[in-house]
Amino acid sequence: MKAAIVRNFGEPGDVVIGQLPDPAVRDHDVLIEIRAAAINYPDLLVIRGRYQNLPRPPFVPGKDAAGVVLQVGASVRRFRPGDRVVAHLEYGAYASRVALPERYCEALPDEMSFDNAVAMGLPFQTAYFALCERARFTQGETVLVTGASGGVGAAALQLVRALGGTAIAAINRPGQASQALADGASHVVDLSLPDVRESLRQQVFDVTDGRGVDIVLDALGGDVFNAALRTLAWCGRAVVIGFAAGGIPHIKANYLLLKNIEVSGLQWSDYRERDSRRVNDVQRKLHELYASGQIHPRIALKLPLDKVGEALDAIDRRAVIGRAVLGFD
């Protein structure tokens, strides 16, 4: 099979295209002919050897794949050859074929393309679990989303709107405002203003009549997280999704006590490993929201597998406002 291969941890340009043997199919596995794969920011961290879960080189990166079932193991009950599926992997999506346990797969509705399936993938799953599972969102609440121009941020904006909340998008550049509003934000706040610790809270208070927000979903970390924590209303909840800005913040426990606020974290892959039925339930819910037109991934770049290095570089330079997809036509 054709695959993008990481022979040693390094840079995106070190990923090579080559041939590998077709994967073996165990009793509980499905073998998928991949038609589309998504590039996610964590893929860059895995390739560089900087992610929390790392495979041993050589390996094939990639966490989101969609395609057609070619073969099923003897114990598989949910799928048969010819079925269209989306798959959530720890790695292995940048290849023409992959074999994985059926519990990591979900059937695709007829109206959903392979490209849209993988473009939703990890970002929408992460955003849904952060919002509904960890933050316990309820209809009518107000949510501040940092990193709103990224994949998870854009998904969170769409989900807040679809589920009946008010989303506030925190952006780094004024040019990102129009897309954040299109994704579902009711308000936009600017993280690039001087003294983010004070300016972010003031902007949020200005659009919430001084109340603050019920929930913060933070994918940036660093000073932005510390500033976002100060925007929480009484009994607010913050969820740590990542540290795309580079810094890991420290939390003063007395501040949580004084405001009756809470902070939790989300590592979505743990849900995939420990509670795959819940992940599949959420995937079906996301498919329903997609079918009703309430959410839709934004694909900004599609390239063939041979140009995976170019696609990874574009994500690394933050040159893509939207999702990057690899095609296997």
**CA torsion sign, 271 to 275 to 276 to 282?**
negative
DSSP 300-327: EEEEEGGGHHHHHHHHHTT--SSEEEEE
- Are 233 and 204 in contact, with CB atoms under 8 Å apart? no
When pLDDT is averaged across residues 232-250 and rounded to a whole number, the result is: 93
- Are 188 and 169 in contact, with CB atoms under 8 Å apart? yes
pLDDT bin (cut points 50, 70, 90) of residue 320 is confident
- Half-sphere CA count of 185, side-chain side, radius 13 A: 25
d(CA 167, CA 26): 44
CB atoms within 10 A of CB 140: 10
pLDDT of amino acid 288: 97
* H/E run at residue 263: strand 262-265
When pLDDT is averaged across residues 191-217 and rounded to a whole number, the result is: 97
For residue 318, CA distances in Å to 12, 164, 176, 201, 259 come to: 14, 30, 12, 26, 36
**Which residue, 188, 2, 28, 15, is CA-closest to 96?**
2
List pLDDT tens digits, range 269-317: 999 999 999 999 999 999 999 999 999 999 999 999 999 999 999 999 9
List pLDDT tens digits, range 39-67: 999 999 999 999 888 999 999 999 999 99
How many secondary structure helices (H) and strands (E) does the chain include?
A: 10, 15
pLDDT of amino acid 116: 98
Kindly report the backbone phi and psi dihedral angles of residue 129, in degrees, each rounded to the nearest multiple of 5, phi listed first: -65, -40
Report percent pLDDT > 70 for the chain: 100
Phi-psi region of 195 (alpha: psi -120 to 50; beta: other; left: phi over 0): left
pLDDT of amino acid 244: 85
Domains along the chain? 2-121+276-327 (3.90.180.10), 139-266 (3.90.180.10)
pLDDT of amino acid 3: 98
List pLDDT tens digits, range 155-190: 999 999 999 999 999 999 888 999 999 999 999 999
Which tokens is 28 given? 């509980």
Q: At residue 262, does pLDDT exceed 90? A: yes
pLDDT of amino acid 157: 98
**Which residue, 47, 38, 74, 117, is CA-closest to 327?**
38
**Which residue, 69, 130, 135, is CA-closest to 104?**
69
Burial of 116 (0-12, 13-18, 19+ CB in 10 A): buried
